[in-house]
Structure 1
Amino acid sequence: MNINWYPGHMKKTKEEIEKSLKLVDIILEVIDARIPKSSRNPLISEIVKDKETIIIMNKTDLSDPKENEMWVKKFEDEGLNALKINAKEPINTGKIYKVAKNILKDKFKKNEEKQIENENIRMMVVGIPNSGKSTFINNIAKRKGTRVGNRPGVTQQKQWIKTNSNILLLDTPGVLWPKFDNETGLALSFTNAIKDEILNIEELCLKFIEFMKESYPENLEERYKIDSSKMPIDIYDEIAIKRGAIIRKGEVDYTRCANLIFNDFRSGKLGRITIEKA
C-alpha cells in the first residue's frame, strides 16, 4: 500500500512551530507508545534542533508493557528523556516539572544568581494527529477547554494553557510530514493517525492481520476464538463469520469486519499491542 496524507493546515502548523520556538524552554513531544518510531515526526526534530525535548510516551495502557520499558531505555540511550503516560488517567505533573527543571538547571542557577524569582517553565506540546496530545493537555491543565477528538487533526489553532503548577503549555495542532515509507504509513494507519476514510480499509486490515499473526497470534485466538495458524485471508473470513459481518447469501462484508477489528485494536479490546519493536 502507498500511503501519504498531508493536509494544507499541516504546512501552516510547521511554520507556527518554527516561529514559536523562542517563546518556550522545553518541547514536550507526545508520541503513541504503540508506534514510538513512526509517531515521531522527523520534521519536528529538524525544526526544534537543539531545543531540549521530553518524550511523552502516551497510550501506554494500550501498548505492550515489555516494549514500553525497552523503548524508554532506547530513548535514554539516545540521550532523550522519556516518560510513560496514560493521558486518560491523572498525570504526575510534578514528575514532568522535575525532569524539565533538571534539564534547565543552568537557567535556574543564573536566575538565582540574578535574584530572579520565576519558577515557571514554558513548554510547547507537539505531536502527530491522534497521539492523544489534546487529552494530555486537558488532563495536565485540569480543564476541558481544549477540543478533543478521536479523529486526526481536531486541534487546529495555537493555544496557551495555564496549569495549576508552574508549567505553561503552548498547544499546537497535530502535524504529519509530506512523505513517508510504506512501513511508517502502515503504522500510522493502523493507529488512525491517518484517516480511515482515505484508505482502502479492507486491504489495510489484511496487513494488520498479517502483523498480528506474526507478532501477537495469541491475542487473535483469545479475542476471536480462531485458529491463527491459517492464512491471513482465511483468518479474516473466520472473524467475519464469527462476528456476523456477512452480507446476503453468506458473502463476507470485509469493510464491516475491518472496522470491527480496528475498533478492537484501537480500544484495547484486542490486548496491549506495540506495532514497532525497540
Structure 2
Amino acid sequence: MAINWFPGHMVKTKREIKENLKLVDAVIEIRDARIPKSSANPDIDELCKDKPRLILLNKSDLTDNKTTKAWINALKSESIRAIEVNCLKGDGIKNIKPALMELLKEKHERLKAKGLAKIITRVMVVGIPNVGKSTFINKMARNNIAKTGDRPGVTKNKQWIKTAIGIELLDTPGVLWPKFEDEEVALNLAFTGAIKDEIMDTEELSLKLVERLQNTNPELLKVRYKLEAVAEEPIDTLNMIARKRGAIVSGGEIDYNRIASIILDEFRGGKIGNVSLENPWKGEEIEG
C-alpha cells in the first residue's frame, strides 16, 4: 500500500522551524504514544539536534501502559528525556515544567549568575500532524488560543502563547517528511490519523488495520465487535464486523466504505481498546 504525503506548506514549515530555533531555549516534541517511533519525524531530529528537547508521548490513555513505560525507559537509555501525557485530560502536564527546568538548569544558572532575576523560558512545540499539539497548547494556556481539529493540518499560523507558569510556547504546524521508506511506519501514521483520510484508500486501510489487530490484539476485536472468533483471513473478519454493525447495502452486500469509517474511527478513539502499535524492543508492531 503506497502512502506518500508532503504538501507544499510542510516545506515552508521546515524552513520556519529552522529560522525560529534561535528564538527559543528548548523544544517540546509531541509524539503519539501508540507509535513513538513512527511519529518521530527524522527531519525534526536533524533540525532540533542542537537544542534541549523534551518528548511528550501524548494519547497515553489509548496505549498499553506497560509498553508506554518501556518506551520512556528506552528513550532514557538513549539520554532522551520523555514523559507520558494525556493533553486532553491534562494527565502528566504538571511534569513538563520540572523536566524543562532540569534540561535548562545550566543555562538558567549562568543567567542568574549574571544577575538576571526573571527568566522567561521560550519553547518551540513541534510534531507531526494530529498528535495533539494544539490540545497541549490549549491546556497549557488554559484557554482556546490555538485552533484545534480532529484532522491533520488544522494548525497553520505561527503564534506565541503565554502560559501561567513562566513559559512561552511557539506553535508550529504539523510536518511530515517527504517519503516513507518503511511501509509499517506509513501504515502506523495512517492508522492513527496523521495522514489525511482524503488521500487514502480507507477501505484498504481498514482491512490492513483489521489484519494488524487480529494478529496482535484478537481478543479486543472479539469483545468490541461481539465475535466468537477472528477468521483466518482478515477480509472475513472485516466482513463479520460489518454484518455485526449492520454495514450492509441492498442485496446483502457489505458496505465497505461505511465499515471502514467505523473501524478507523473506533480505533482512533480508543473504543476498540488500549493498543500500542509499536514496542521499544524491535520498533515494530507488537506480536500476540
Deviations 1:144-190 (A, max 9, x none): 01100000000011110000111110000000010012111100100
Identity over aligned pairs, percent: 50
Q: CA RMSD in A?
A: 1.1
Runs of at least 5 residues in structure 1 that lack an aligned partner in the other structure: none
**Residue in structure 2 matched with residue 208 of structure 1 by the alignment:** 209
**Residue in structure 2 matched with residue 255 of structure 1 by the alignment:** 257
Structure 1 residue 272 displacement after superposition: 0.7
Write the mapping of 1:69-108 to structure 2, written as runs, cut at 5 A.
69-90=69-90, 93-108=93-108
**Residue in structure 2 matched with residue 18 of structure 1 by the alignment:** 18
Supply the distance in 2 between the matched residues of 1:92 and 1:215 (Cα, whole angstroms).
Answer: 28
Q: Is the 8 A contact 2:84 2:92 kept in 1?
A: no
2:271 corresponds, among 254, 269, 274, to 269
Structure 1 residue 110 displacement after superposition: 1.0
Q: Is the 8 A contact 1:93 1:165 kept in 2?
A: no
SS at match of 2:193: coil
Supply the distance in 1 between the matched residues of 2:63 and 2:265 (Cα, whole angstroms).
Answer: 15
SS at match of 2:177: coil
Q: How many residues align?
A: 278
1:228 corresponds, among 227, 230, 249, to 230
Question: Scaled by the length of structure 2, what TM-score is found?
Answer: 0.94
Supply the distance in 1 between the matched residues of 2:106 and 2:265 (Cα, whole angstroms).
Answer: 47
Q: Is the 8 A contact 2:87 2:93 kept in 1?
A: no
**Residue in structure 1 matched with residue 283 of structure 2 by the alignment:** none
Write the mapping of 1:92-241 to structure 2, written as runs, cut at 5 A.
93-180=93-180, 181-226=182-227, 227-241=229-243
Structure 1 residue 101 displacement after superposition: 1.2
What one-letter code is carried by the residue in structure 2 that aligns with 1:44? Answer: I
Structure 1 residue 228 displacement after superposition: 1.6
1:182/1:219 Cα in 2 relative to 1: closer, same or farther (>3 Å)?
A: same
Q: Is residue 4 of structure 2 the alignment partner of residue 8 of structure 1?
A: no
Question: Scaled by the length of structure 1, what TM-score is found?
Answer: 0.98
SS at match of 2:76: helix
Supply the distance in 2 between the matched residues of 1:90 and 1:241 (Cα, whole angstroms).
Answer: 38
SS at match of 1:257: helix
Supply the distance in 1 between the matched residues of 2:196 and 2:107 (Cα, whole angstroms).
Answer: 42
Structure 1 residue 92 displacement after superposition: 5.2
Q: Is the 8 A contact 1:91 1:140 kept in 2?
A: no
SS at match of 1:61: helix
Supply the distance in 2 between the matched residues of 1:99 and 1:250 (Cα, whole angstroms).
Answer: 56
Q: Is the 8 A contact 2:39 2:189 kept in 1?
A: yes
Structure 1 residue 229 displacement after superposition: 4.3
**Residue in structure 1 matched with residue 246 of structure 2 by the alignment:** 244
Supply the distance in 2 between the matched residues of 1:145 and 1:100 (Cα, whole angstroms).
Answer: 22
Supply the distance in 2 between the matched residues of 1:97 and 1:8 (Cα, whole angstroms).
Answer: 34
Runs of at least 5 residues in structure 2 that lack an aligned partner in the other structure: 281-288
Deviations 1:214-248 (A, max 9, x none): 11001000000111243211101000011000111
**Residue in structure 1 matched with residue 284 of structure 2 by the alignment:** none
Q: Is the 8 A contact 1:209 1:232 kept in 2?
A: yes
Supply the distance in 2 between the matched residues of 1:156 and 1:191 (Cα, whole angstroms).
Answer: 20
1:200/1:94 Cα in 2 relative to 1: closer, same or farther (>3 Å)?
A: closer
Q: Is the 8 A contact 2:55 2:83 kept in 1?
A: yes
Identify the range of structure 1 (90-99 vs 121-130) with the bigger mean alpha-carbon deviation: 90-99
